[in-house]
Structure 1
Amino acid sequence: MRDDITNGDDNDNENIAAASREGERQVQCATNAVQRQVAHRCLIELLIFVVLLIPVLVYEVAVEPARRGFFCDDESLHYPFHENTVTPVMLGLLSGALPPLIFIVVEYVRMMRKDKLAATVQVLGWQMSAWYVEFGRQITYFMFGLVLTFDATEVGKYTIGRLRPHFMAVCQPMLSDGSLCTDAANLHRYVEDYECAGEGYTIADVRQARLSFPSGHSSIAFYALLYTALYLQRKLHWRSSKLAKHFLQFVLIMVAWYTALSRVMDSWHHWSDVLVGSLIGVTVALITARYISKLFKPSYREIVRPAGLRRQNTSDTLQEDVCASTPPPYCVNGSFSDDQYCTKV
């Protein structure tokens, strides 16, 4: 009798161990499947980034801007050449360095307040801090929108080939017959066949003089800084001040606004170039925040019952309105007999 009991216990232990091993194998298989899915997604998104960067490189290296004609007496093209107030290096810091720095600080502070700095997530076999992963997600979304802005801007520049306000000063066009725009005979002449002398300027300067529309500084600055302002609206909660967050947002938008204004001030763009460039940046920032990173998608806790609606006890309504025509046993006070029930069914 005791041997039978002992054998039964051993069999139970073996079954439990086997079930445990089977459960571990299933968990491991599920984990491996998730890791493969993450790796597959990362490769696809990396490929998308590469594809989006190809047009930018092709335009910058191998494509010439569309060649447009001009009137020799067009006053909008006779502005003097000035250096950039907001240089390309400054623009790169504002759009490529400042937003990621803000993302890092905000994500770190958020995790610290939630006491989750020690939380880790396994990604592609690596054990990483949870706030690293969240920062990676946000920077991926941000960079995706930035590349889209680059692409839209470059397509416009090289397709339109609009002449900058300082075109005459940089190009110094020489007409096909050897005459100059300063000659009286060419005062109202529309010129299409010309060559740029460009004395005192580089080939790159002459090429840039034909890339006015739309403003790249404006589109990139407005995208990067507006998206960052929207990110702060969603992620940053400053308990000690109600206005501090909005002040930071205002500063970011004003920096983008000043960058756009400086392009007209420096005679690098016409006002319409700046307007369209700014609209491109704002549009891509809103689309990225709303549909790609989904910054304003309400969480489960934020979904509340609409105001003005009150809870009602529907049991009385159910008994009064439904039971009058519903056979038993669905109604507590149903008055149907068995025969009536059968006919109803």
Structure 2
Amino acid sequence: MLDTFGSHGTGLTVSDLQLKLSDKKSNLPPAPGMGLDNNTGKKLLERSGPALSKRKLLVGLDLLCLFLASVPFYVCELKVVRPYRRGFICGDPSITYPYTHSEAIPDGLLIAGGIIITGFTIALGECYRVRFCSVSSKAFVRNLYVSSLYKELGSFLFGCSIGQSLTNMAKLSVGRLRPHFLSACGVTYASLNCTPGTYVATVTCKSPDPRLEEEARKSFFSGHASFAMYTLLYLAFYLQARLKWHGARLLRPVLQFFLVLLAIYTGLTRISDYRHHPTDVLTGYLQGAVTAYWVAFFISPMFKSSSSDLSPTGTPDSSLSPHHTAC
């Protein structure tokens, strides 16, 4: 009798009613927290409401971390803390080299070259990926160019802050004398009238510029060597992750070779300019290389798999290494 329900009016069976009810339920809007299997629903939830506020908060946290990482660098540059006043052994030949005003690679050229060359290449590479590789992003910023540049350039600048803060902290804490210390100080062993082999704890410099003496106490370790090695080796890592053109097999390794060669040359000029001891340069190389490796492989998304936050759309190629992107 139930099966023939409504035969006097509508003529609908129970099965027809159940079918209509199921259709109405499927057309209802998803309840809060539901509908996560729908890709459109995912994007809407991720770019609005609490998820959007959380992502904005995380961006603010990133900027705060970048500022905190650069604090030791600015403390040194603004002369807030003075370097440790270390003495020397009378007759030590390693600090008797002449002071030269000219440098093969001055500070301005180093900073401009390292940041502009690496930063411009990363910006160009990321814009190319967004334009031609169909990348997608979960960032709340809808502009893919901005979100991709934020991830890569932000990681690079964070490494710059970390590296230079470590360098300046070492310079202030150790206070090792540069090879041209006596010349910058305006004294000689004869004018000091000290006994060879004895330790001279303090010295009164006769240099007309007191800044020369302070800079002459910041030898360990080489900031030029660490900064050049970090920026150029980081760029070599970036080329390894992003340059996927197989037409010329030796193009990428040749570019990487010249980048590392330029970094090594920068450090060697600090020895020939009598600004640093060889051990200062070697330590700078090591610190810059370790920082570049750490940031490239553990902070930057460049070596993440294609299922990362910023990745090419579609199914990742199973033949790719987990340390390479699909584009």
Q: In the alignment, does 2:271 pair up with 1:271?
A: no
Aligned-residue CA RMSD in angstroms? 3.0
Contact in 2 for aligned 1:161/1:212 (Cα 8 Å)? yes
Cα 1:45–1:301 change in 2 (3 A) is same
Quote the offset at 1:183 in angstroms.
3.9
Which whole-Å deviations, capped at 9, do the CAs of 1:250-307 have from their partners, x for residues lacking one?
11111101100000010000000001111100111111122222544455534689xx
Quote the offset at 1:132 in angstroms.
3.2
Normalised by the length of structure 1, the TM-score is 0.74
Quote the offset at 1:134 in angstroms.
1.7
Contact in 1 for aligned 2:71/2:165 (Cα 8 Å)? no
Quote the offset at 1:96 in angstroms.
1.5
The more displaced of 187-196 and 221-230 is: 187-196
Quote the offset at 1:80 in angstroms.
0.9
- The answer for the alignment partner of 1:55 in structure 2 is 72
Quote the offset at 1:122 in angstroms.
7.3
Q: In the alignment, does 2:238 pair up with 1:231?
A: yes
Cα 1:25–1:296 change in 2 (3 A) is closer
- The answer for the alignment partner of 2:143 in structure 1 is 128
Quote the offset at 1:185 in angstroms.
3.8
Quote the offset at 1:62 in angstroms.
1.1
Quote the offset at 1:74 in angstroms.
1.5
Q: Which runs of 5+ in 2 are unaligned?
A: 1-8, 36-40, 307-315, 322-327
Quote the offset at 1:94 in angstroms.
2.2
Over the matched positions of the two proteins, sequence identity in percent amounts to 28
Contact in 2 for aligned 1:99/1:228 (Cα 8 Å)? yes
Cα 1:254–1:197 change in 2 (3 A) is same
- The answer for the alignment partner of 1:309 in structure 2 is none
The letter for the 1-side match of 2:169 is V
Q: How does 1:94-109 map to 2 (within 5 A)?
A: 94-109=113-128
Q: How does 1:333-344 map to 2 (within 5 A)?
A: none
Q: From the CA coordinates, give the structure whose radius of gyration is larger.
A: 1
SS of residue in 2 equivalent to 1:194? coil
The more displaced of 230-239 and 253-262 is: 230-239
Q: In the alignment, does 2:99 pair up with 1:92?
A: no
Cα 1:288–1:123 change in 2 (3 A) is closer
Normalised by the length of structure 2, the TM-score is 0.78
The letter for the 1-side match of 2:258 is V
Contact in 1 for aligned 2:151/2:301 (Cα 8 Å)? no
Q: How does 1:278-317 map to 2 (within 5 A)?
A: 278-293=285-300, 295-299=302-306, 301-302=317-318
CA distance in 2 between counterparts of 1:293 and 1:184 reads 53
Quote the offset at 1:113 in angstroms.
3.5
CA distance in 1 between counterparts of 2:46 and 2:31 reads 12
- The answer for the alignment partner of 1:326 in structure 2 is none
